[in-house]
Amino acid sequence: MTSLSTNPYKGTRDYYPADKRIQNYIFNVWAKVAHRFGYEEYAAPLLEPIEVYAAKSGQELVGEQTYRFVDRGDREVVIRPEMTPSISRMVAAKRQELAYPARLFSIANFMRYERPQRGREREFWQLNVDIFGADGALAEAEIITLGFEMMKSFGAKPDMYSIKINSRSVIDVMMHDYLGLDPIQAPLMVKLFDRKSKISNEEFRDQAIEIFGNEAAKDGLSKIAQLLVAKGVEDMPKQIADTPAVEELKQLFKVLHDRGITNAQFDITLMRGFDYYTGTVFEFFDNHPDNNRAMFGGGRYDGLVGLFGAEPLSAVGMAPGLTMTEVFLESHGLMPDLASTTQVYIAVLGEDTLQGASKLADRLREEEVNVELDITGRKIDKQIKTAVKKQIPYVLFVGENELKSEKYNLKDTHTGEEESLSFERTVSRIKDRRRKYSADDDELFD
């Protein structure tokens, strides 16, 4: 009989306790900052009808990357590949009942059938944070500021990453009015601009010529050259600069600058792939040489809610991912040393003391201390090794003498220091360490 493989499905991950501690740390930071900005948590189904995504997400996502199947009721459904259409559907369903601006967030898992690589998996977790019913640059500024504060909470400094910003409205003016592209050429040029950082200048030029056609290529390439040297919105050609879309971008940059966000920059090549974006788009980009890539992004999508038969509603959102956040923290040495959520391991000295040690464990749990009690009867050195291997911060030794005197030897597994303490002092010492070393003000242990 052939044994089953221990590997998870390709492109997915197993999360052992140490991995879950990192995951929970990141989730807690996300939720804490979202709550600080007044965002409320929601959840949505794992499965959605395929038409929810076919309407606006883009053919590449729906046609090539979704896990789609026909259920037992002959309905074509997909495992959600993203959250934006789902939350738009939910908002449309309660369009008249919600209070606006509606600030909403979720932390959920998704699946896309794409090639697994560093930072990208087929099953992935991400935060989705959106504001509905807020027009103008202040809504974009709030979402970008929220992302900035999340990075700050992880210990990131502004020079570690850049916030690249563009506008789909500016892109439309650029493609149609400035470059003179038709409805067939424009989407091709958008995709080419989106790939610019991933291909050589020669490849970019040759593909641009192919899109323009030989007759229009000379003038078109000259105009593209003017676009690519623009370091800020104020450097855009006059035909583009004198538009409301550029004025809105200028306002956005001013608001961000006034808030102390100095690492935001205009990037004419930033496109964002989804078809539903209608205004400002942005990406948080890692500056580390070993991970020089986009981490997450978002933008304005004012048309999705209206697709569900409700009155149209403006919306801005972003979606940081778990794995890319992990890679960023590891690349910059920002990943905290996260101990086990178990705070103390009770090592039992002698078989006759197990009952008394069990009662002591119960007393500690009543004091909201997380306790693991050794019930194996093994030698003390093996009990200690277990606690160390599990990264439990303390070992509490309990034998007949300790139960009689109610003084217990508490060993710090990190420093090796050991001291004799009363029950009350034991509880106090453990809780003091939790307050000092908890990655999120005790929330990891709640």
Label residue 351 by pLDDT band (50, 70, 90): confident
Q: How far apart are CA 27 and CA 11, in angstroms?
A: 21
**Average pLDDT for residues 88-97, to the nearest whole number?**
96
Q: What is the pLDDT of residues 382-402, one digit of tens each?
A: 999 999 999 999 999 999 999
φ, ψ (nearest 5 deg) of residue 214? -60, -40
Identify the weakest region by mean pLDDT among 149-158, 231-240, 304-313.
Answer: 231-240
Q: Looking up tokens 């749990």, which residue turns up?
A: 365
- Pairing, β 344-348 against β 371-373: parallel
Retrieve residue 250's tokens.
Answer: 């200028």
Label residue 139 by pLDDT band (50, 70, 90): very high
- The helix, strand and coil proportions of the chain, stated in percent and rounded to the nearest 5, come to 45, 20, 35
Q: What is the pLDDT of residues 169-184, one digit of tens each?
A: 999 999 999 999 999 9
At residue 165, the pLDDT reads: 96
Q: How far apart are CA 197 and CA 199, in angstroms?
A: 6
C-alpha distances in Å from residue 258, one per residue of 109, 264, 340 = 35, 12, 41
Q: Confirm if 306 and 271 have CB atoms less than 8 A apart.
A: no
Retrieve residue 182's tokens.
Answer: 């038709």
Q: What is the pLDDT of the chain when averaged over all its residues?
A: 92
Label residue 276 by pLDDT band (50, 70, 90): confident
pLDDT at residue 367 is higher than 50? yes
**Average pLDDT for residues 326-351, to the nearest whole number?**
94
Q: Confirm if 158 and 284 have CB atoms less than 8 A apart.
A: no
Label residue 263 by pLDDT band (50, 70, 90): very high
- Pairing, β 47-49 against β 418-422: unpaired
At residue 39, the pLDDT reads: 98
| DSSP code per residue over 277-315 | --SEEEEEEE--TTS-SEEEEEEE--STGGGGTSPP--E
Label residue 195 by pLDDT band (50, 70, 90): confident
Calculate the CA 221 to chain-centre distance: 37
Q: How far apart are CA 313 and CA 303, in angstroms?
A: 7
Label residue 366 by pLDDT band (50, 70, 90): very high
Label residue 299 by pLDDT band (50, 70, 90): very high
At residue 230, the pLDDT reads: 85
Q: Confirm if 48 and 261 have CB atoms less than 8 A apart.
A: no
Label residue 403 by pLDDT band (50, 70, 90): very high
pLDDT at residue 63 is higher than 80? no
Domain with CATH 3.30.930.10 in the chain: 17-331
Percent of the chain scoring above 90 in pLDDT: 77
Cβ contacts of 380 within 8 Å, gap of 6 or more: 347, 349, 397
| DSSP code per residue over 226-257 | HHHT--SGGGS-HHHHSSHHHHHHHHHHHHHH
Gyration radius (Cα) of the chain, Å: 27
**Average pLDDT for residues 368-382, to the nearest whole number?**
96
Q: How far apart are CA 274 and CA 281, in angstroms?
A: 10
- Top CATH class, 344-440: alpha beta
**Average pLDDT for residues 222-241, to the nearest whole number?**
88
Label residue 370 by pLDDT band (50, 70, 90): very high
pLDDT at residue 444 is higher than 50? no
At residue 57, the pLDDT reads: 58
pLDDT at residue 296 is higher than 50? yes
Q: Is 294 helix (H, G, I), strand (E, B) or coil?
A: strand
For 377: left if phi > 0, alpha if psi spans -120 to 50, otherwise beta; the answer is left
- Pairing, β 67-70 against β 371-373: unpaired
Q: Return the higher-pLDDT residue of 351 and 430.
A: 430
Retrieve residue 409's tokens.
Answer: 């030897």
Pick the CATH number of 17-331 from 2.60.40.420, 3.30.230.10, 3.40.50.720, 3.30.930.10: 3.30.930.10
pLDDT at residue 277 is higher than 90? no
Q: Is 318 helix (H, G, I), strand (E, B) or coil?
A: strand
Q: What is the pLDDT of residues 202-213, one digit of tens each?
A: 999 999 999 999
At residue 274, the pLDDT reads: 63
Q: What is the pLDDT of residues 16-60, one digit of tens each?
A: 999 999 999 999 999 999 999 999 999 999 999 988 888 665 566
At residue 245, the pLDDT reads: 87
Q: How far apart are CA 404 and CA 73, in angstroms?
A: 67
pLDDT at residue 443 is higher than 50? no
Domain with CATH 3.40.50.800 in the chain: 344-440
pLDDT at residue 440 is higher than 60? no
